[in-house]
Structure 1
Amino acid sequence: MASVTTNDLHLPDYDDLPPVEGMPKGCAWGLFDKDGKRDVFGTLNLLTPSVVKAAGAEIQDGVSISLNWPLDSMNKLAIPGRKQSVHKVHTLQTAGLSQGIGWDDELEFNTQGSSQWDSLVHWQHQPTGFAYNGFKPTQEELSATSTATNKMPTIDHWHERGGVVGRGVLIDYKAYADSKGIDYHPMEGYRITIEDIEAVAKHQGVEFKQGDIFLLRTGITEILDKPTPEDFAKLGQYKLSGVHGTEETAKWFWNKHFAAVAGDSNAFEAFPPLKPDGTLAEMTDLVLHPYFLSLFGMPIGELWDLSRLSAYCQKTGRYSFFLTSAPMNVSCLVGSPPNALAIF
């Protein structure tokens, strides 16, 4: 496969990425560095003005669809280490208004508890501890009080680029499996291969472009919205369907030069992960998280609500759209609700 050259960005294919000392093959560090400054945006650099302008042509129907799952959607589940969201409403009586005619509210939540972006420091390369582009996050580094003094590749920097705006493409594996009679359940750890993705893309008439924002629907959030006792039993086994995590999968995603990826599952990749010999692995052996976040600098979105998007895509036969995402603007932000919209 030849290198891709568009929008003044020349990116080598996976096999041609220059080696980085002490890191595995497929490390893209330094590719986006400019004027001696270490890059903090990763593959979001592919969202160039020309890419964004071209994506605007997707707006034809005047229809916008929210891709954001309710913030408290996971409150029904006990996730170790993840605090449930809390919403408090307060009267403005203390500000001088009469009781009941003015209100404020407060939110407390874990940014991994519902629809989210993972920043490029969320999951480091486990053997070395390095995040994207050789950054080494620490509690101290992630305590900077402003983006200007924050050196880490966290989400607050995205606002310097105007958020995440480009062409989104949905690969609706759940709908495809249903239409083809494939024995599939979102909570049985089904491993969606590159061959599967390419088959769905062909079925939908989708062609990928450099700078696309890749979305994958597995159907998990819809199960979690209205779980049956059988679903709860499956959930207890913690087998989650998603993209098959292998180096070959990572290679394919890099060579497509996506700006970012997102899905409706908990991890985007299937869980539990597999070792190279095919045996079950542990959480620390996730494959795509270190490749995408740490080696490529490719943001991962998880638990996005793709149900309404799926319905509209199936209704219209269109699986590409204008996508916008304006995450929270907080210094050193590791994760954030995406505040994402698909616009047709």
Structure 2
Amino acid sequence: MAGRGVLIDYRAYAEAKGIEYSPFSSFRIGVADIEEVAQYQGVTFRPGDILIIRFGFTEALGAMTPEEQTKALSTGYICGVDGTIDFAKWLWNKHFAAIASDTMAVEAMPPMVDGKAQPFTELVLHQWCLSLFGMSLGELWDLKALSEQCQKSQRWSFFLTSSPLNVPGLVGSPPNVLAIL
């Protein structure tokens, strides 16, 4: 996959606006939040864009000891985008080619329906994006260096290429991603 990548740096935005959240909570952002950050960064979306959202999850995880990681991950709470049908429709209507983040599942966990936690089998974006749209999901991307470079250049779009392993029947793979600003 190759195309125009767009970084929505929610972590940097939250820090600038005094918004506090834990990457190890069910904190979630929706369409309005993403559009607000895009406006703040001066980003416009184009059909075929690869949407990348930074929450700071991999950074927080990497700063922990193995014991701390086990404790933080054992709760089952991970921040992410609001995995709803409306969010999936927004992705489709914006004609994104793919969506990726530095979180475990792109969408916040556990999935919520009417304010109630659901089993992980109910992750909406996984069902809609992968099965219905053919839209790839990228998880656990290390976005810190990309964020720093985007901040430095005040530019949040770039050429992005990803070449996962070519193995028949493979369901997941290291993405081998390269961003060129």
- TM-score normalized by structure 1? 0.51
What does residue 279 of structure 1 align with?
116
- Corresponding residue for 1:216? 53
Asked whether the 8 Å contact 1:189–1:241 carries over to 2, the reply is: yes
1:170-189 paired onto structure 2 within 5 Å? 170-189=7-26
Paired residues of 1:242 and 1:270 also in contact (CA < 8 A)? yes
Contact 1:223–1:231 (Cα < 8 Å) also in 2? no
Q: Does 1:294 align with 2:131?
A: yes
* 1:192 and 2:29 aligned: yes
- Aligned with residue 264 of structure 1, among 73, 79, 102: 102
Displacement, 1:230? 6.5
User: What is the count of residue pairs matched by the alignment?
Assistant: 180
Residue identity (%): 57
CA distance in 2, matches of 1:332, 1:233: 33
Task: Judge conservation of contact 1:188–1:234 (CA < 8 Å) in 2.
Answer: no
Question: Displacement, 1:203?
Answer: 0.5
Give the 5 Å matches for 1:42-81: none
Q: Which runs of 5+ in 1 are unaligned?
A: 1-163
**Using the alignment, how far apart are the partners of 2:171 and 2:74 within structure 1?**
27
Matched residue, 1:325: 162
Aligned partners of 2:9 and 2:136: how far apart in 1?
20
Cα 1:230–1:334 shift into 2, 3 Å = closer
Matched with 1:202 is 39
Q: Give the match's secondary structure for 2:146.
A: helix
Q: Please provide the CA RMSD for this pair.
A: 1.4
- For 1:227 and 1:200, the matched residues in 2 are separated by 28
1:236 is displaced (CA, Å) by 2.5
2: CA distance between counterparts of 1:233 and 1:325?
A: 32
Larger radius of gyration: 1
State the partner residue of 2:86. 248
Aligned-partner Cα distance in 2 for 1:216–1:258: 13
Please say if residues 187 and 231 of structure 1, whose CA atoms lie closer than 8 Å, have aligned partners that are also in contact.
no
Question: Residue 53 of structure 2 aligns to a residue in which SS?
Answer: strand
Q: Deviations over 1:46-70 (max 9, x none)?
A: xxxxxxxxxxxxxxxxxxxxxxxxx
Matched, 1:306 2:143: yes
Q: CA deviation at 1:231?
A: 6.2
Provide TM-score, normalisation by structure 2. 0.95
Q: Which amino acid aligns with 2:35?
A: E
8 Å CA contact 1:174–1:219 kept in 2: the answer is yes
